[in-house]
Amino acid sequence: MIRYDPLALENCYEYNYEPAPDEIAALLNVGASVTNIVVTKGAVPLFTRDVSVGGNQYTDALQKEFHLSADAAEAVKLGRANGDGVDESRRLPVLQSVTKLIVLEVQKTFDFFRASTNGQRIAHMYLSGGAAQTTGLKDTLQEEFGEVVDFLDPFRRIAYPDNGPLAEAIRRERPRLAVAVGLALRSFDDL
């Protein structure tokens, strides 16, 4: 089975960031049920791995801990609602428990990458996907790995309207759109 998400993610990164040939970066696409990890050197993907942890695990953990519906748990996860009185001090530890699972899998991936590439160092990490903006994920990755961690901007070099509902949706959902933009940028010249 061909996995398109990692390839689209790398395509989006390459187009928007034009990395130097020796620049090593990690691209993390935290989707609903899978996190894609791509380690790239310049415009060449060196290593990809899919991990079966994603945004659904955050939602499930909140549902179980606070007896919420799926919709209410999703709103709490994204910080859009307090879900029947779930305050920040109770929400954060539940989110952090899932974040630790993601960090563990990323650590395993990085350890394998370093062992197979004579210890090459990842200089930058880019987050994308529907769960990328989950409270604490970016900060925890930054603390754990010491690399610079940013949200992948799929519209860094792509113009879009400055105002209106489309512009607002793009600004709000930017990290979620990396795979879609990477697929849209795919060239058909080679087919």
Six token digits for residue 152 = 């992948």
- DSSP-assigned letter for residue 177: G
The answer to whether residues 34 and 52 touch, using CB atoms and an 8 Å cutoff, is yes
Q: How, if at all, do strands 44-51 and 35-41 pair?
A: antiparallel
Six token digits for residue 103 = 């960090």
The answer to whether residues 95 and 58 touch, using CB atoms and an 8 Å cutoff, is yes
How far is it, in rounded angstroms, from Cα 152 to Cα 129? 9
How far is it, in rounded angstroms, from Cα 58 to Cα 99? 8
CA distances from 108 to 50, 103, 105, 113 (A): 12, 9, 5, 9
Sheet order of strands, 35-41 included: 44-51, 35-41, 24-30, 124-128, 148-151
What's residue 2's pLDDT? 59
What's residue 146's pLDDT? 85
All domains of the chain in start order, with CATH: 4-184 (3.30.420.40)
φ, ψ (nearest 5 deg) of residue 44: -115, 115
Six token digits for residue 69 = 């519906």
Question: Half-sphere exposure of residue 95, counting CA atoms within 13 Å on the CB side?
Answer: 25
Full pLDDT tens readout for the chain, 191 residues: 557 899 999 999 999 999 999 999 999 999 999 999 999 999 999 989 999 999 999 999 999 999 999 988 888 887 776 556 777 788 899 999 999 999 999 999 999 998 888 878 899 999 999 999 998 999 999 999 988 999 999 999 999 888 999 899 998 889 999 999 999 998 655 54
Six token digits for residue 125 = 């990490």
- Nearest CA-CA partner of 30 in 103, 100, 101, 129: 129
